């Protein structure tokens, strides 16, 4: 577990699916987090959890972001970890609207970045952010991410194609 002042990053628990299925079916979250537009059923979510919890390849690391009382507020991942080239990509969701803007995302990012650089010995973390997610873009910039490029009209949601910023932070 990675512990901060307000939140803890802990490994996923089987029971987390009951909360994450809500977030992964919320279209405003899907749009901000570059998720696919398809509905997630209980069977799909439970199967995904079984796959993740059984994985031993260490190429993807998933944490549930919880308040100190173990109430989930989101999830954060390091994906496609390449231990040879020392890089990976990052994904984060703060689920409920009431939990956004309270610093949970920033604290989770700082904990995960520190973990990736100081424990996993990674050199670079990339993140993709859709152009309409101004809040996330500003947070990444504040944390030290730089924009390395832009994918034009790359993500289709709600009838329009949106640009996606490619951002990275280096150790």
Q: Where are the domains positioned within the chain?
A: 2-125
The class of domain 2-125 in CATH terms is alpha beta
Q: Is the pLDDT of residue 82 over 90?
A: yes
Please give the order of strands across the beta sheet that includes 72-82: 2-3, 7-11, 61-67, 72-82, 87-94, 124-130, 160-170, 146-157
* pLDDT tens figures, 93-119: 998 878 788 899 999 999 999 999 999
Distance of alpha carbon 78 from alpha carbon 65, whole angstroms: 13
pTM recorded for the entire structure: 0.92
The residue-averaged pLDDT of 42-52 equals 92
Catalytic residue selected from 62, 137, 140, 161? 140
The residue-averaged pLDDT of 143-151 equals 97
115 is annotated as an active-site residue? no
Q: Is the pLDDT of residue 2 over 80?
A: yes
Q: What percent of the chain has pLDDT over 90?
A: 75
């Amino acid at each position: 577990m990675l512990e901060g002042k307000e939140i803890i990053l802990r490994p996923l628990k089987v029971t987390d699916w009951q909360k994450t299925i809500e977030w992964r079916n919320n279209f405003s979250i899907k749009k901000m987090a570059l998720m696919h537009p398809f509905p997630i059923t209980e069977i799909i979510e439970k199967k995904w959890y079984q796959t993740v919890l059984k994985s031993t390849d260490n190429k993807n690391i998933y944490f549930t972001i919880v308040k100190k009382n173990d109430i989930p507020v989101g999830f954060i991942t390091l994906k496609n970890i390449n231990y040879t080239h020392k890089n990976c990509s990052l994904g984060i969701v703060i689920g409920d609207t009431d939990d956004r803007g309270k610093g949970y995302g920033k604290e989770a990012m700082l904990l995960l970045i520190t973990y990736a650089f100081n424990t996993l010995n990674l050199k670079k973390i990339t993140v993709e952010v859709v152009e309409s997610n101004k809040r996330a873009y500003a947070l990444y910039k504040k944390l030290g991410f730089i924009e390395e490029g832009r994918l034009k009209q790359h993500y289709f949601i709600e009838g329009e194609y949106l640009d996606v910023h490619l951002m990275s932070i280096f150790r």
